[in-house]
């Protein structure tokens, strides 16, 4: 049985639509010259990816120290049994949301998952959006 899949590239529009349809993904950044990754939950707002993370976390720390930090944000929904699904990667500059009105709105929409952590809201502008879908051969 050939269980290999065909990889189809996604358009930007389709990729952002899929990303908006799931609750969590992984923020990828560089920390002390090493690649780092952390799962978080997200929403999309006017085309930007909004994540909420502990201010003590390494990603928030990195973004606060270096205001124009580029991060990647990945989400996927791939079934390891059927080997079908998709993955989307957004790459862009991450900034701490410091506007009080935006922050309050995002905090209402995006509940943190972990107890007892002071947290911040980050906005990622999707400068590069890539993605693929895996489907069975015809």
Question: Can you give the binding site for its own copies, defined by CB under 8 A?
Answer: 2-7, 22-24, 26, 28-30, 34-39, 41, 70-72, 74, 76, 78, 80, 83, 87, 89, 91, 111-116, 134, 137
C-beta of 57 vs 97, nearer to its own copies: 57
Q: CB-based burial of residue 45 (10 Å sphere; 0-12 exposed, 13-18 middle, 19+ buried)?
A: middle
Of 38 and 105, the one with the shorter C-beta distance to its own copies is: 38
Q: Is residue 95 a contact partner of residue 122, using CB atoms and an 8 Å limit?
A: yes
Give phi and psi for 5, each to the nearest 5.
Answer: -115, 155
d(CA 57, CA 38): 9
- Using alpha carbons only, give the angle 122, 124, 126 rounded to the nearest 5 degrees: 170
Nearer to its own copies, 33 or 101 (CB): 33
With H, G, I as helix, E, B as strand and everything else as coil, classify residue 72.
strand
Nearer to its own copies, 90 or 97 (CB): 90
Residue 29 CB, nearest distance to its own copies (Å)?
6
CB of 40: closest distance to its own copies in angstroms?
10
Q: Quote the least distance from Cβ 48 to its own copies, whole Å.
A: 17
d(CA 54, CA 40): 10
Closest separation in Å from C-beta 59 to its own copies: 11
């Amino acid at each position: 049985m050939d269980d290999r899949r065909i990889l189809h590239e996604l358009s930007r529009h389709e990729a952002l639509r899929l990303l908006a349809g799931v609750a969590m993904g992984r923020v990828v950044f560089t920390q002390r010259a090493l690649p780092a990754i952390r799962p978080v939950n997200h929403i999309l707002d006017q085309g930007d990816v909004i994540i909420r993370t502990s201010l003590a976390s390494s990603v928030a720390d990195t973004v606060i120290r270096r205001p124009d930090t580029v991060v990647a944000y990945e989400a996927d929904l791939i079934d390891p049994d059927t080997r079908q699904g998709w993955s989307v990667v957004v790459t862009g500059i991450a900034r701490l949301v410091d506007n009080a009105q935006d922050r309050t709105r995002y905090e209402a929409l995006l509940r943190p998952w972990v107890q007892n952590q002071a947290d911040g809201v980050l906005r990622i502008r999707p400068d590069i959006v890539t993605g693929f879908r895996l489907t069975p051969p015809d």
